Amino acid sequence: MNIDHLNKEYDIIVVGAGPAGSMAAKFAAEKGVSVLMLEKDRDVGYPVRCGEAVSKAGIEEFITPDEKFIAAVIDKFCMVAPDGTEVILPLNEAGYILERRIFDYELAKQAANAGAEILTRAYVNGLLFENDKVSGVKLEYQGKQEEIKSKIVIAADGVESRVGRWAGIKTHIDFRDMESCVQITVSNIDVDQDTCYFYFGKYVAPEGYFWIFPKGNSSANIGLGVSGMIGKSKSAQSFLNDFMSKNYQNKPILTQIAGGVPSVITLEKISAPGIIIVGDAARQVNPLSGGGIVSGMIGGKIGGKIAAEAVRSNDLDHLLTYDKAWHDRLGKRHEIFDKIKNAIYGFSDEKLNNIAYSFTKIPLEKRTLGKLFRTALINNPSILIDVAKVFVV
Ligand SMILES: Cc1cc2nc3c(=O)[nH]c(=O)nc-3n(C[C@H](O)[C@H](O)[C@H](O)COP(=O)(O)OP(=O)(O)OC[C@H]3O[C@@H](n4cnc5c(N)ncnc54)[C@H](O)[C@@H]3O)c2cc1C
């Protein structure tokens, strides 16, 4: 696909070919409207800035799990308290550590197979407007400035999104809510390949957590996120360096990445005339876990379908139903996860140790994530009700 072969106008233009963009493009194209997806990078899915953990159930809604994009199959979590107490939590349903480079590619192929056109190295740098309604994009491609019109733009341009702001949507995020993350992929490391490890406490990852996610073949993603406030006084990189020198000295490092995770509830408005926002750009990340792959795909699916329906019914006001549809499916749950996150953020190391210690008294087969949060928040009855709403306890 070259820009000369593109149409001058599409029903829908999707900006960004991450999981949210590809799903928006796929579900829109499946409804028979014309879709163009533009990606600024050379490759779809690269560079990868992600721990790559997902639940099996989460991705199964979109794609059949395939070993070509699964680096490790997870059957338990190991939560490590500040004093080293380990809490093993068997998972009812498997999790995966993805090979996102391949996974994102497969999602984009789904969009292409549904009829979407895709162009990489296409950097969107502005929006077109007609009568105060978004009516297309400006982009730079191979050193030339171009314009392509569309009835609807879907902004799927990730955490550093600017497209929504250009449309006048408030996209500001408080410093404290942007988790500052770093991660290395390390080889020749001895970790259980079926276990995701989470470390907590003020010395490893205050107002966040530290993770080791196995990546198959004696390798692992090792990283952490700390709130923007913490990052001001000690960087995520310094926490990572400290952890590595204490626990895994001189391990071969295959990749190093840094990035932000918007650990916050969804933007107040995610649609405006002629435009909707999906994925990280809309802050559709689970604020408690920081996971945004599956929730972004869900946002993309809902947004892509509604955008296509709006085109087909020639009723662009239908776009404005997207906010409610998202909130009903996941946005409201994210509000609860955000409350839980804020309640546990302030826990002292001593409190975290006590929670871990009490939880180890529960027999292995009776442990669930919901029970863990119930143990953690036992003195906070108003939140316990919320815990019950989002976790099977
Ligand atoms: C360190 C780290 C670890 C993480 N670990 C996990 C995890 O284990 N599990 C999980 O579920 N989530 C994790 N996340 C979050 C997850 O990576 C994101 O939530 C997910 O990638 C969001 O998908 P998206 O499609 O919204 O955005 P992205 O995947 O960021 O895709 C956005 C795309 O838009 C493109 N783009 C941006 N601007 C433009 C433009 N102007 N023109 C054209 N293209 C543009 C970008 O190049 C990019 O390809 C992690 C994030 C970080 C930083």
pLDDT tens for the chain, 393 residues: list them. Answer: 667 788 889 999 999 999 999 999 999 999 999 999 999 999 999 999 999 999 999 999 999 999 999 999 999 999 999 999 999 999 988 999 999 999 999 999 999 999 999 999 999 999 999 999 999 999 999 999 999 999 999 999 999 999 999 999 999 998 888 999 999 999 999 999 999 999 999 999 999 999 999 999 999 999 999 988 888 899 999 999 999 999 999 999 999 999 999 999 999 999 999 999 999 999 999 999 999 999 999 999 999 999 999 999 999 999 999 999 999 999 999 999 999 999 988 899 999 999 999 999 999 999 999 899 988 988 887 788 888 877 764
- From the DSSP assignment, how many helices (H) and strands (E) are in the chain? 12, 16
Model pLDDT, residue 135:
98
CA of 20, closest atom in ligand 1: 25
Q: Which residue is it, tokens 């662009």?
A: 316
Residue ID of nearest Cα to ligand 1 atom 41 = 124
3-state class of 84 per DSSP? Answer: coil
Q: Token digits for 52?
A: 């790559």
Residue 47: is the preceding peptide bond cis (ω within 30°)? Answer: yes
Can you say whether the dihedral through the CA atoms of 182, 188, 189, 193 is positive or negative?
positive
Answer yes or no: is the C-beta of 183 below 6 A from any ligand 1 atom: yes
Answer yes or no: is the C-beta of 285 below 6 A from any ligand 1 atom: yes
Residue ID of nearest Cα to ligand 1 atom 45 = 16
Domains of the chain in start order, with CATH, are 3-47+101-173+266-339 (3.50.50.60), 73-94+175-262 (3.30.9.10), 346-390 (no CATH)
Contact partners, residue 287, CB within 8 Å, separation at least 6: 177, 263, 264, 265, 334, 337, 338, 341
CA of 282, closest atom in ligand 1: 26
Answer yes or no: is the C-beta of 39 below 6 A from any ligand 1 atom: yes
Model pLDDT, residue 378:
87
Residue ID of nearest Cα to ligand 1 atom 11 = 291
Between CA 182 and CA 190, with CA 187 as vertex, the angle to 5 degrees is 105
Answer yes or no: is the C-beta of 40 below 6 A from any ligand 1 atom: yes
Residue ID of nearest Cα to ligand 1 atom 26 = 279
Model pLDDT, residue 391:
73
Q: Which residue is it, tokens 């292409």?
A: 112
Ligand 1 centroid to residue 56 C-alpha, Å: 19
Q: Which residue is it, tokens 């906070």?
A: 380
Ligand 1 centroid to residue 260 C-alpha, Å: 9
CA of 122, closest atom in ligand 1: 43
* CA dist., res. 137 & res. 158, Å (int): 17
CA of 223, closest atom in ligand 1: 1
Closest CA to 244 of 224, 218, 258: 224
Contact partners, residue 361, CB within 8 Å, separation at least 6: none
User: For the chain, where are the alpha helices, taking DSSP H only?
Assistant: 19-29, 56-60, 100-113, 163-166, 228-233, 236-247, 293-312, 322-326, 332-345, 349-360, 369-376, 381-390
Phi first, then psi, for residue 222 (nearest 5°) are -125, 120
Write a three-state SS string for 165-177: HHCCCCCCCCHHH
DSSP state of 43: B
CA of 179, closest atom in ligand 1: 53
Residue ID of nearest Cα to ligand 1 atom 39 = 157
Mutation choice for ligand 1 from 123, 178, 280, 301, CB with most ligand atoms inside 8 A: 280
CA of 38, closest atom in ligand 1: 43
Contact 10, 274 (CB under 8 A): no
Model pLDDT, residue 392:
60
Contact 273, 129 (CB under 8 A): no
Q: Token digits for 161?
A: 């999104």
pTM: 0.96
Ligand 1 centroid to residue 350 C-alpha, Å: 35
Residue 353 is inside which H or E element, if any? helix 349-360
Partner residues linked to 80 by β-bridges: 86, 199
The burial class, CB within 10 Å (0-12 / 13-18 / 19+), for 24 is: buried
